[in-house]
């Protein structure tokens, strides 16, 4: 499936919710065949900004292939209303439910939930809430929300060392446990959001299984799925999901604000959604 060719500009709009409006981009499906709808759920905090370029490229490529793709900035994120301090995991799930409802009315065919990093946790949570079966496209998925939270909290310590040459004061995890919000890398993290993220797990929804496309990037010349991923994917296979898992060489673009390109990831996504992907290399 080629990534080349002109694609119309996405439709930008604000989706009304009970707590303000959410900024959305809809990429209408191109061509005569509509292959389905794809709802994209972005990663946590600053990772959203670092991933916009690659995600936009993938959304355009999917639209060109016949998918209707909806991107939403969740409460307090990106160009949506509200502050990050207003966000909760449950509020984000409600945003995702409203976005799904909108997509159902504007795209025909099978539903794919596409999540990146912590967005994968939200995608599987949404899948569990939906009445109908769906498929999952997961990029570099976080398996446990607690691990994602710990990675974010480490930014606080790193910034202290870089700014002052030492780390002082109570650790952010201690403040959160005491019911206090913490400011990390320009984001105010509340105990409520931290608890919701920490409790999130990447689990097969209790419903008829669909397809799971699991894609990871590595800087290694001969990438392999991580042992944790291999072990976790066995749970999905045991639950009846048709799993396509692949490790690819490419930039870890969610870790930087550089304008990285990930052509192998984009092509693999198209190939696997069309059933052409092979099982990924495993240790």
DSSP assignment letter at 144: B
**Does residue 283 register a pLDDT over 50?**
no
Mean pLDDT lowest for which of 125-129, 186-190, 276-280? 276-280
pLDDT at 164 (0 to 100): 52
Sequence-separated (6 or more) residues with CB below 8 Å from residue 182 = 153, 156, 172, 175, 176, 188, 189
**CA 217, CA 47: separation in Å to the nearest integer?**
15
* 202: nearest Cα among 138, 121, 123: 121
**Does residue 276 register a pLDDT over 80?**
no
pLDDT at 280 (0 to 100): 39
Q: Give the DSSP H/E element, type plus range, for residue 26.
A: strand 20-27
Would you place residue 8 in the very low, low, confident or very high pLDDT band (cuts 50, 70, 90)? confident
Domains of the chain: residue spans and CATH: 11-144+210-273 (3.40.50.1820), 145-199 (no CATH)
**CA 233, CA 139: separation in Å to the nearest integer?**
14
- Render pLDDT for 107-157 as a digit per residue (tens, 0 to 9): 999 999 999 999 999 999 999 999 999 999 999 999 999 999 999 999 876
- Render pLDDT for 212-255 as a digit per residue (tens, 0 to 9): 999 999 989 999 999 999 999 999 999 999 999 999 999 999 98
Instruction: Record the tokens describing residue 37, joined without a space.
Output: 């709808």
- pTM of the entire predicted model: 0.92
Beta bridge partners of 41: 72, 115
pLDDT at 159 (0 to 100): 56
Strands 36-41 and 11-17: unpaired
Say what percent of the chain tops pLDDT 70.
90
- Render pLDDT for 50-91 as a digit per residue (tens, 0 to 9): 999 999 999 999 999 999 999 999 999 999 999 999 999 999
**CA 100, CA 31: separation in Å to the nearest integer?**
22
**Does residue 5 register a pLDDT over 80?**
no
Instruction: Record the tokens describing residue 193, joined without a space.
Output: 């959001």
**Does residue 168 register a pLDDT over 70?**
no
**Does residue 23 register a pLDDT over 80?**
yes
């Amino acid at each position: 499936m080629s990534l080349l060719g002109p694609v119309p500009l996405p439709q930008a709009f604000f989706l009304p919710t009970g707590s303000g409006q959410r900024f959305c981009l809809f990429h209408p499906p191109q061509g005569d065949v509509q292959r389905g709808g794809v709802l994209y759920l972005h990663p946590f905090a600053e990772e959203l900004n670092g991933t916009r370029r690659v995600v936009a490229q993938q959304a355009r490529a999917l639209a060109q292939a016949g998918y209707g793709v909806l991107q939403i900035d969740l409460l307090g994120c990106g160009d949506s209303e509200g502050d990050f301090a207003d966000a909760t995991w449950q509020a984000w799930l409600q945003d995702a439910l409203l976005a799904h409802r909108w997509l159902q009315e504007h795209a025909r065919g099978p539903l794919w939930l596409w999540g990146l990093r912590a967005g994968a946790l939200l995608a599987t949570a949404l899948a569990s809430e939906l009445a109908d079966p769906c498929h999952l496209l997961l990029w570099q998925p976080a398996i446990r929300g607690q691990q994602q939270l710990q990675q974010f909290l480490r930014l606080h310590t790193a910034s202290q060392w870089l700014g002052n040459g030492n780390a002082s004061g109570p650790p952010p995890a201690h403040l959160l446990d005491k019911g206090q919000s913490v400011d990390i890398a320009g984001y105010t993290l509340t105990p409520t959001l931290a608890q919701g993220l920490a409790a999130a797990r990447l689990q097969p929804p209790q419903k008829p299984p669909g397809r799971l496309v699991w894609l990871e990037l590595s800087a290694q010349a001969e990438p392999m799925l991580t042992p944790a991923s291999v072990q976790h994917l066995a749970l999905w296979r045991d639950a009846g999901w048709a799993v396509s898992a692949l490790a690819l060489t490419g930039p870890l673009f969610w870790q930087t604000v550089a304008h990285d390109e990930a052509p192998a990831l984009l092509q693999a996504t198209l190939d696997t959604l069309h059933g052409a992907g092979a099982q990924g290399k495993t240790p």
